[in-house]
A and B are shown apart, each in its own frame.
Chain A
């Protein structure tokens, strides 16, 4: 029985846990309970992934109402893969949180923080699992509203303006998405994605559908922070509490990319590269521009957290580039990079949290000689950085390998060359930190002091995973390839 209920439990468990945390209120019970919840959410996601890979897509009718009238949850290989890593990141970052939050969040707000965190996780998982377009919007708002709250809890007062800025842009994005969904509903009379996919062929090419496509794309580009609609991201990531930055950087923008994939390939079947709206050429241009501009800006940042935030904008460029190729290899690259980037950027931001806790600042100046003061944290950072560059043997290499192969398949040599060139930019900004950390003497009179184990272990878990998945690729790229074939429509 519980097997049949897994898709609902995936959402219900964190959803019910959030208000329970508010009721529990006291620190120790809240944290113990929330940790149990996030890890069991991850266990559910793993069970779903196993089930889907073995038996094919799962469908769950919410409230017993069959689709297309009711809301259905639909878990296929792609959804299960994204659910798995989103819940994994939620579990790892929350395990890291207790120690890190003690110096970032006022004591009397901890239970509210945890509740908002769980709601955000619920929203993100919900976006992925649902098969109903309007439901996507609802979950999008749940995750967005709670992430504004999480960001605003940052210690720096600028976190408030960053959160407000994100709120304004995020709301514009969500409104655009809602308008797009409304227009599609007007033309097809259905909100169920699978149903819409069959009905939309009759009205394809009408101006209304074209407008819907435009609204949805722009809305999603804002949400995923594709250059040049990324302006909310650097401040939001820089001033949010470390745990929140790591969690959002690893999941929130990725889930928007997932919605894009779903919408383009499962619902509208728009082949982005075949002239329907010239979107393919446009997104290739934007993603390449994003990769280069954001990486260049990252080089000139003195705040390392901010540097990584700009690097995230560049990484979104790689994912959208993969989608723009609209081939199995391209999509595989995009999907596997969702996962790989979540691991490495999550690990990097967690390491930043360790620096912030021990040193108190994360500007380049604060990190002088940190390689000798905090060897374990610094080495984790360096490994994450190598993965970001795409050194062979790291997860980042696998993503770039697939991306370049996809470019070569389509005979777009210049794009492949640009991808290689962009790795050099990543090398520059990672090296700036490495140089400061290892080749500058630490300030006088500071002792060697490592971050606490409760923070080091999650950091190393993510960084270690990004090395593991650089070597053992059947668990990541293998599943991603299956998901990509599903989207393109080769596999059932």
Chain B
């Protein structure tokens, strides 16, 4: 798609806003529709659009497969880490109330971190699925 200048320009314009919207969906998930899964998919959509228009190599430079693999694992660790911290603080696994003194704040922060973990993993897995399929077509 090297010669499709409209597509290239429009995607360049759109990608930052897609990323921003993903973050909005991520952190607004507890007040409105949204949450980690949706946000992760939207975030990955920006990378996928970039890959579709500019090719696999550029998107691999931005998000190297080895790094994406680690980031996917990191999201799960963030999620489970909240649970483990709650356990260390004397609560049950994933008992957010144990995280802080103020219970309502603890619940709020707990779910935000959990959703962040979900978002990170979903985005990374979507990107790596796209890269795996795209690499296959290119014969690599």
Contact between B97 and A64 (Cβ–Cβ < 8 Å)?
Answer: yes
Chain A residues positioned under 8 Å from B97 (CB to CB):
64
Contact between B93 and A22 (Cβ–Cβ < 8 Å)?
Answer: no
CA A61 to CA B97, docked complex, whole Å: 13
Contact between A18 and B76 (Cβ–Cβ < 8 Å)?
Answer: yes
Chain A residues positioned under 8 Å from B70 (CB to CB):
22-23, 25
Contact between A63 and B96 (Cβ–Cβ < 8 Å)?
Answer: yes
**Is A8 part of the binding interface, using a Cβ–Cβ cutoff of 8 Å?**
yes
Chain A's closest residue to B83 (CB) is A12
Contact between A22 and B73 (Cβ–Cβ < 8 Å)?
Answer: yes
Q: Which of B67-84 contact A (CB under 8 A)?
A: 69-70, 72-74, 76-77, 80-81, 83-84
Chain A residues positioned under 8 Å from B76 (CB to CB):
15, 18-19
- Min distance, Cβ A315 to any Cβ of chain B, angstroms: 35
Chain B's closest residue to A112 (CB) is B69
**Is A60 part of the binding interface, using a Cβ–Cβ cutoff of 8 Å?**
yes
Contact between A15 and B80 (Cβ–Cβ < 8 Å)?
Answer: yes
Chain B residues positioned under 8 Å from A468 (CB to CB):
none
**Is A179 part of the binding interface, using a Cβ–Cβ cutoff of 8 Å?**
no
Known: A12-B83, A16-B80, A16-B84. A64 touches B73 (CB 8 A): no
Could you mark each residue 51-66 of chain A with 1 if its beta carbon is under 8 Å from any beta carbon of chain B, else 0? 0000000001111100
Could you mark each residue 288-299 of chain A with 1 if its beta carbon is under 8 Å from any beta carbon of chain B, else 0? 000000000000
CA A20 to CA B90, docked complex, whole Å: 24
Contact between A63 and B74 (Cβ–Cβ < 8 Å)?
Answer: no
- Min distance, Cβ A104 to any Cβ of chain B, angstroms: 21
Chain B's closest residue to A108 (CB) is B66
**Is A5 part of the binding interface, using a Cβ–Cβ cutoff of 8 Å?**
yes
Residues of chain B touching chain A, judged by Cβ–Cβ distance below 8 Å, are 69-70, 72-74, 76-77, 80-81, 83-84, 87, 90-98
Residues of chain A touching chain B, judged by Cβ–Cβ distance below 8 Å, are 1, 5, 8, 12, 15-16, 18-20, 22-23, 25, 60-64, 115
Contacts A/B (CB < 8 Å), 25 sampled: A5-B87, A5-B92, A8-B83, A8-B87, A8-B92, A8-B93, A12-B83, A15-B76, A15-B80, A16-B80, A16-B81, A16-B84, A19-B73, A19-B76, A19-B80, A20-B77, A22-B69, A22-B72, A23-B73, A23-B77, A60-B92, A62-B93, A63-B92, A63-B93, A63-B95
